[in-house]
Structure 1
Amino acid sequence: MRIEPQSLAFTLLLGLLAAVPYSGIDINLPALTATGVTLGASASDVGLTMSAFMLSLAIAPLIYGPVSDRLGRKPVLAFGLALFVAASVGCALAPSLPVLLLCRFVQGIGAAATATTFAIIRDLFDGDAARGKIANVMVAVNVATVIAPTAGAALLAAAGWQSIYAAQAGIGFMLLMVVMFRFAETATIAPSGRLVPSAVIDSYRRVLTHPVSLPFILVGATGGATVFAYVTGASLYFVGAVGLRPEQYGLIFSACSAAVMGGALLDGQLGRRGASSARMLATGLTLSAAASVALLAMTLAGWMPTALVVTLLMTVALGFGLSLPNVMSATMQRLPEIAGAVSAAAGSIQLTAGAIASGLVAVRFDGRTALSMTAVMAAAALLALVLYLLVARPAERRLESLTIEPGVAIRSPRNS
């Protein structure tokens, strides 16, 4: 029996799939030093395994997206999860750092297949229904982000760093079984659709020239860059400059993750009560921008009370949680026949923007203040708000004035 798209089980499946890449990063953080001891490498060298994983996460979706549009979401998910399981086993058995780096890169390629989660939502849901599903997926991802480091530390203490990769293999295998036997294909596959380079290039050309999808992709990328700047800069500032203990910073990180979840849940609740996507998106972006600018002003003034800084960071996270479901819904709405390519392009551009923001924060960190973090956050958050108000929203209104869209809340899976 397949899992019904309207069911809680289906929402849980989507959330678990979307959480695979994020948990693959966070669950390994506590084990960098222990892994280095075993493999005869420094913790900073083992940290390259994170870079290898994230590099493949950024690149692989660009292939998976068009493939899933033409062959279906299910075979792409099954292939990616199988690859993730095999690579996780390889990581657990790795005898040296170079082998671990290779396996982590392959593991990221496998995990990247779960980027089709948003395409699956677009296949099945429209409008507020899609927005609600995306919000639920965000909640699941943030729960995984909060739990993963603690789970990794527990596994490390109980059975060594290899058990962390063994656990990832086990989780990947369970998801693979559910996808293989309980998940029905959701994509509409055109008989004439061909998986050839020219078709793939044409899909991305359509995405990157679409008058509505592209502006919303850029809004999502700049909004995401705000969060990447926080993730990189907050640990540098609170631990390196303020002198907080790592466990104290962990509480701050968890509080901000909870704020993202709260924003996503609030968006879902208000959406069900009639709050428009445009209003919630504008509200979320404005909150993030205002809090980021306030942080920058405080940094320049040299007045940074920790409690207020944490409150403003949580406000940025709350705004991100309010805005992201609406950004993704608007991004995916206009090109349903190539939803895989849209999702892949959006994810890759957001990761690229995030990597740039993180790099700027790390390179410009002065060891004393939060200036590199707050400056990048303010610039990215303001750019996101300006792009939405002056480019994305006007383009959306122009297109809405030319077309009348059906108010369909849910579609039936096709080709199942």
Structure 2
Amino acid sequence: MALLGLLAALPTFGIDMILPSLAATAADLGAPGSEVGLAMSVYLLSLGGAPLLLGPLSDRFGRRPAVVWGCTILIVASAGCMMAQSLPQLLAFRVLQGIGASGPGTAAFTLVRDRFQGKEARAKMSFVVLVINVVPMLAPSVGAALLGIGGWRLIYAAPIAAALVLLLVMRFFDEPTPPDPRSCPGPAEVAGVYRRILRNPLFLGNALCNAAMGGAVFAYITGSSLFFIDALGLSPERYGLIFGASSLSVMGGAYLNSHFGRLGVSAGRTIVLGLAVATFVAAILFISALARSFSPVPVVAAMVGVALSFGLISPNAVHAALQPMPEVAGSASAVAILLQTALAAVSSDLVARLFDGRTALSMAGVMLAFSLAAAGIYSGLSHLSERGALTAPPRSTGQSAERETR
């Protein structure tokens, strides 16, 4: 369990650890604050896109080489970020960081599939999903502490230390199955698998719903830093405390999700509840921002509400997306990750570019737009389910998959 947690945490920690340092980075590199926000976007895009290639490669050469080479690239790229003298240099090394971090991230999913089955596999996958969603919300607090100790460059030492620890652990790791040269499909076969995944409406609807809610989460992740530090003038340390405390609500959402399951509340109803809460708090913040309010109360309320909603929605939506295609669950997971990171990158970039320097309007508008998009996608998915228009999953999982979408 500890190895899975470290594999899942390493790539996701790199997403938001730099949030408290955006203003300091911009000042030191002589770049506009809105453009420094691209350091998050390019990392997300490379982190989400690389698994599409690393998945087949890890099948061919094994899980250990994927993790070892990923950690090596991550260490080199992080050192490059520490020494960057211009924004283009920083962005280039952030792209390499994302590629390197995707090695451990891909292994976290594939090792669950390799080593566990049945209920134990589902429990381990839930743990991986929880780590992936919680760590980015706690990373700014660590980043703020490192910023206060040694400046923005010191923040990039954290992934170096974590990657070195993981390399040490991997020395004692045994491959669950020996690499098989015949297991790596050709480009045409890989493309065919991905076409099949993208044509499945049950997968696509749930994956897009999850990705859109991820976009809403990243709207507040990026926007809260700009609002509290740039607009209100809070110190990075105080912002880290506010962010860390409010983002713990995603764990509250995950706990409520488990509790609702024990009470017999369907996954579909839990998703609808999460969508309603997210849309409501985002709408309240949007109205407040339009009124030129500088109060932090609606901002914190929106942060708590959207994080709580994501904890309710994401585990159920991801599970429902993978249900109809258990034989290609690894490839389907890669597509779901790519969709979520791509929309998160778009959301983060929009918030940074539209920030007016005074209010949370860009954060509120993007958050509301993505929440409404998630609600619309899931509404359409439910409508298709009621009409029986969804592609039928395999017989062994058909009933549970149908329950997940309703």
Match of 1:41 in 2: 29
Query: Which one-letter code corresponds to 1:42 in the other structure?
Result: G
The answer to whether the 8 Å contact 2:37/2:348 transfers is no
Q: Mapping of 1:105-116 within 5 angstroms?
A: 105-116=95-106
Match of 1:185 in 2: 176
SS in 2 for 1:185: coil
The answer to whether the 8 Å contact 1:299/1:371 transfers is yes
- Structure 1 residues 235 and 339, CA, compared in 2 at 3 Å: closer, same or farther? same
Match of 1:118 in 2: 109
Query: Which one-letter code corresponds to 2:173 in the other structure?
Result: R
Match of 2:202 in 1: 212
SS in 2 for 1:366: coil
What's the offset of the Cα at 1:160? 6.8
Residue 392 (structure 2) pairs with residue 404 (structure 1): no
Q: Structure 2 length as normaliser, TM-score?
A: 0.80
The answer to whether the 8 Å contact 2:114/2:176 transfers is no
Aligned pair partner of 2:269 in 237, 257, 279: 279
Query: Which one-letter code corresponds to 2:197 in the other structure?
Result: V
Query: Which one-letter code corresponds to 1:267 in the other structure?
Result: N
Deviates most, 291-300 or 43-52: 43-52
Q: Mapping of 1:232-311 within 5 angstroms?
A: 232-242=222-232, 244-272=234-262, 274-300=264-290, 305-311=295-301
Query: Which one-letter code corresponds to 2:29 in the other structure?
Result: A
What's the offset of the Cα at 1:323? 0.9
Match of 1:4 in 2: none
What's the offset of the Cα at 1:51? 5.0
How many pairs are equivalent?
394
Q: Structure 2: how far apart are the matches of 1:325 and 1:137?
A: 10
The answer to whether the 8 Å contact 1:130/1:329 transfers is no
- Structure 1 residues 377 and 164, CA, compared in 2 at 3 Å: closer, same or farther? closer
- Structure 1 residues 68 and 331, CA, compared in 2 at 3 Å: closer, same or farther? farther
- Structure 1 residues 381 and 161, CA, compared in 2 at 3 Å: closer, same or farther? closer
What's the offset of the Cα at 1:257? 1.5
- CA shift digits 1:263-297 (9 cap, x unpaired): 12332344355443323222222221222223334
Q: Structure 1: how far apart are the matches of 2:38 and 2:292?
A: 34
- Structure 1 residues 358 and 401, CA, compared in 2 at 3 Å: closer, same or farther? closer
SS in 2 for 1:344: helix
- CA shift digits 1:356-380 (9 cap, x unpaired): 2223333333344433322222221
Q: Structure 2: how far apart are the matches of 1:392 and 1:122?
A: 29
Q: Mapping of 1:85-100 within 5 angstroms?
A: 85-89=75-79, 91=81, 94=83, 96-97=85-86
Aligned pair partner of 2:161 in 164, 170, 176: 170
Residue 329 (structure 2) pairs with residue 330 (structure 1): no
SS in 1 for 2:356: coil
What's the offset of the Cα at 1:246? 4.1
- CA shift digits 1:41-60 (9 cap, x unpaired): 33658766555533422331
- CA shift digits 1:52-79 (9 cap, x unpaired): 5334223312211343455554443333
What's the offset of the Cα at 1:385? 1.6
What's the offset of the Cα at 1:319? 0.4
Residue 342 (structure 2) pairs with residue 341 (structure 1): no
Aligned pair partner of 2:127 in 133, 136, 142: 136
What's the offset of the Cα at 1:400? 8.8
Query: Which one-letter code corresponds to 2:96 in the other structure?
Result: V
Query: Which one-letter code corresponds to 1:205 in the other structure?
Result: R
The answer to whether the 8 Å contact 2:209/2:378 transfers is yes
Q: Structure 1: how far apart are the matches of 2:183 and 2:142?
A: 43
Give ranges in structure 1 of 5+ residues lacking alignment.
1-9, 410-416
- CA shift digits 1:375-408 (9 cap, x unpaired): 222221122122113216744976697753269x
Q: Percent identity?
A: 44
Match of 1:60 in 2: 50
What's the offset of the Cα at 1:205? 0.9
Residue 191 (structure 2) pairs with residue 201 (structure 1): yes
Q: Structure 1: how far apart are the matches of 2:233 and 2:368?
A: 24
What's the offset of the Cα at 1:247? 3.9
Match of 1:376 in 2: 366
What's the offset of the Cα at 1:339? 2.6
- Structure 1 residues 300 and 255, CA, compared in 2 at 3 Å: closer, same or farther? same
The answer to whether the 8 Å contact 2:43/2:98 transfers is yes
CA RMSD of aligned residues (A): 3.8
Query: Which one-letter code corresponds to 1:332 in the other structure?
Result: L
Q: Structure 2: how far apart are the matches of 1:145 and 1:76?
A: 22
Q: Structure 1 length as normaliser, TM-score?
A: 0.78
Aligned pair partner of 1:386 in 371, 376, 383: 376
Residue 307 (structure 2) pairs with residue 317 (structure 1): yes
- Structure 1 residues 140 and 166, CA, compared in 2 at 3 Å: closer, same or farther? same
Q: Structure 1: how far apart are the matches of 2:38 and 2:351?
A: 18
The answer to whether the 8 Å contact 2:11/2:102 transfers is yes
SS in 2 for 1:182: coil
Q: Structure 1: how far apart are the matches of 2:211 and 2:315?
A: 13
Deviates most, 70-79 or 58-67: 70-79
Match of 2:404 in 1: none
Q: Structure 2: how far apart are the matches of 1:101 and 1:402?
A: 42
What's the offset of the Cα at 1:35? 7.2
